[in-house]
Amino acid sequence: LIFLVFLLFASTGALEGRSPYCFNGFCITLIEEEITAEAGLCVVIPCSFTTGYGFIPKHLVWYKCEPFQQRCSDSDMIFHTNENNRKIQTGFIGRVSLIEPDMNRRICSIVINDLNESDSGSYQLRVNGLLYGMMIFRLLTAFLLGLTQKPTVLVPPLTEGQQTTLTCTAPGVCSGSAPTITWMWRGAGRNDSHITGNTTEIMTALTKRHTSTLTFNTSAEHHGTEVTCKVSFPSNVTTEETVTLNVTYMRKPKITGKTSVREGETLNLTCSVESNPPSLVIWTKYSDRNLQNITNLQNTELLQSTLLSSNVTANDSGYYICTVKHPSDTVTDKVYVSVICKYNLLLCLLYLLLQHPCHKYTTLHINTLWLHI
């Protein structure tokens, strides 16, 4: 927390409910007794004044000196409406702007960009007329806080195989120097990205918005990785925001397990699929030219779904299909399961012959069954 003292803060125009401070015909309306600003950003010092009859303002001069210093000197000058004045402190050149250049409106508000800790101090205003000038002293405390605002990172919906663009917007809309915006990957996929240059959007004469974009081809490897947008201001103040990528993707399902079992044993098949969000896995059996849902299984959103069928018979032979339903697609995988009969081999073989969709492989299939007995 940095302590500051400002002199001659006043509103832009009249602030209702505020009594002006007057001295020798000059009046200024003060704002709150405290003002806060954040390092790296900017601050507006609202200020308006009135003058005595016949006084015509020609130049406005702002000074900044040490805290609680009663009077600033010419060497403390930070702004002069005469751009040719060479007494302005080097560190303030280009950082201070007058909000209203028409002094006939009696507005002395300024904006200071690229704030840093060394900007702490007492600020004083001098109004120069055609013949003489007037400096009024009035203390107002203010506080310069460390930067608490973070960048805003916009992440659109991410789907594998599609090109996507992340957008980072720097905090504040100050008209000062453009910050440096850096993208950083944390995790897999960082070599697949590229960084574009900063883009500055001019909103008004005194406000700008600074953004940067990161474009890459989205893949499953990007899911769960962290992307950080770091904003560095010229005043050696940095802030960053980290987001975790959530990519929608699905891998091709795969069925594993023994596809040849003996009658009376347990059939154990597992359908595995990698996806985000989790997929809905449905088991079905192809039999008698119809697809039959296997009702003894619970369909749940899992990465793996296991089919268990105990005490199998010849009727359990056939194609088993794993259907994976995902928001991005629906895909299937299938295997053919053979049940080897223990008894009444002839009836078993006849059943398999009628059920098998590929009759040209019947002889080979029968021979295989004989070898297993």
Same domain, 6 and 141: yes
**Buried/exposed code over 203-242 (b: 16+ C-beta within 10 A; e: otherwise):** eeebebebbbbbebebbbebbebebbbbbbbebebebbbe
Do 88 and 46 belong to one domain?
A: yes
Number of separate domains in the chain: 3
Query: Hey, what's the torsion of the CAs at 360, 362, 368, 372, to 10 degrees?
Result: 160
Domain-terminating residue out of 77, 110, 145: 145
Looking at the fold, whether 35 and 131 belong to one and the same domain comes out as: yes
Nearest Cα residue to 172 out of 146, 208, 119: 208
Please tell me whether residues 209 and 257 are part of one structural domain: no
Question: Is the same domain home to 31 and 69?
Answer: yes
Q: Tell me, yes or no, whether 363 and 264 share the same domain.
A: yes
Q: 99 and 221 share a domain?
A: no
Above 70 in pLDDT, residue 237? Answer: yes
Same domain, yes or no, for 18 and 85?
Answer: yes
List pLDDT tens digits, range 247-291.
Answer: 999 989 999 999 999 999 999 999 999 899 988 888 888 865 445
Which residue, 187, 214, 248, sits at the end of a domain? 248
* Interval 3-51: pLDDT, tens: 333 444 333 333 444 567 777 777 876 565 567 788 889 888 888 888 8
Report cis status (omega within 30 of 0) of the bond before 20: no
Domain boundary residue among 123, 145, 167? 145
Question: Does pLDDT of 198 surpass 80?
Answer: no
Distance of CA 141 to the CA centre of its chain: 36
Same domain (yes/no): 19, 141 = yes
Q: Does one domain contain both 236 and 334?
A: no
Q: Say yes or no: 191 and 326 in one domain.
A: no
Question: Do residues 306 and 218 both lie within one domain?
Answer: no
Question: Do 329 and 279 meet the contact criterion of CB atoms below 8 Å apart?
Answer: no
Q: Tell me: the pLDDT tens digits for 306-361?
A: 888 889 888 888 999 999 999 888 999 999 999 988 765 555 566 656 655 554 44
Structure tokens at 51: 């003058």
Q: Dump pLDDT digits (tens) for 121-153.
A: 778 888 888 777 666 555 555 567 788 899 999
Residues 6+ apart with CB under 8 A from 214: 165, 166, 168, 183, 193, 194, 195, 196, 227, 229
What residue type is assigned to position 15 of the chain?
Answer: L
Domain that holds residue 201: 152-248
Q: What confidence tier does 294 reach under pLDDT thresholds 50, 70, 90?
A: low
CA-only gyration radius of the chain, Å: 38
DSSP-assigned letters across all residues of 288-311: TTEEEE-TTS---B-SEEEEEE-S
Query: Residue 171 maps to which CATH number?
Result: 2.60.40.10
pTM of the model: 0.71
